[in-house]
Amino acid sequence: MARMIARIASMSLLLAPLPALADSMDDFFTGWSERAHAALDSQPHWIPPINTISPRLTQVVRYDQYWQAANNGVSTNVFDAGKGVEIIPFETTSFTINPALYDERGGKGSGSGWGDWPFLLVKQRLASAPEDDGNYIATGFLSFQAPVGSAAFTNHAWVITPGLGGGKGWGDFDIQANLQAALPLSHANSIGTAITTNVMAQYHLLHWLWPEVELNNIAWSGGARDGKDQLCMTVGTLLGNIPVAENYAVGIGVGYQFALSPRPADPAPLTPTFDHNWILSLRMVY
């Protein structure tokens, strides 16, 4: 009997913190909307670009579609091009959970299948101010990619990508930029490190219209593309965010991306990886 009483007492001690934990979790989810709105109000209200990762924290559900073509006759349709659901659980931190990409290739080496999975992007905002108090933002990035793609569309390596992003606005005009380094955790000798630089200029016009121009450069160090780079320009416009219900709005963007880098005499491996790319971006913010 004494042992039974002791066991019951020890179980009671173990279970005692559970009500407090439940209350804490309830407070966390109850205050979610307040924290998210505080995060949104304490930074510029620019719309996320078509291609460049935005340094802003945003609560958004997003689907992007690519139609790429290369001058060797290969075309690639990319369904859900690395975009997904971004949430703001903390006032300076957001998480983006992405579904896997699906690639459909036509022409030489035609086939289709799942690509490697960029399943998570973490943004940690470092500094920010809204339009009436400086109009700027600086953010750290960290993303993770899993090698789950089918044989034709995988690099067989986990990849982590740290980066920094920032932006500055002047009235209706803003510039956003980021720098990222994709670091493979295996097969580094064949994959190499890809250093991506994006710079984007955007203008807010007629309330819901956001025309933009982006420069996107990838430079490789090591691997099969060692010393090569591809510079592309993206021109496009976004329409949004158009309110559809309380705390909900939608947006749509269309862009055309084309390679500026000349094609080297040695085409293997293919660099730039495509000549032009049509982009469709659908968003719902909440």
| Domain locations in the chain as residue ranges | 31-285
Q: What is the pLDDT of residues 131-186, one digit of tens each?
A: 999 999 999 999 999 999 999 899 999 999 999 999 999 999 999 999 999 999 99
Name the pLDDT band for 16 (thresholds 50, 70, 90).
low
Q: What is the pLDDT at residue 94?
A: 98
Q: What is the pLDDT at residue 15?
A: 58
Nearest alpha carbon to residue 104 among 161, 59, 55, 65: 65
| Cβ within 8 Å of residue 202, ≥6 positions away | 46, 47, 49, 173, 174, 175, 176, 210, 211, 212
The DSSP bridge pattern shows strands 173-184 and 102-106 to be unpaired
Q: Which CATH number does 31-285 carry?
A: 2.40.160.40
DSSP-assigned beta bridge partners for residue 113? 103
Q: What is the pLDDT of residues 47-94, one digit of tens each?
A: 999 999 999 999 999 999 999 999 888 999 999 888 899 999 999 999
Q: What is the pLDDT at residue 101?
A: 92
Residue 220 or 11, more confident: 220
pTM of the predicted structure, to 2 decimals: 0.87
d(C-alpha 222, C-alpha 189), whole Å: 6
* Share of residues in the chain with pLDDT > 70 (%): 90
Q: What is the pLDDT at residue 7?
A: 59
* pLDDT value at 109 more than 80: no
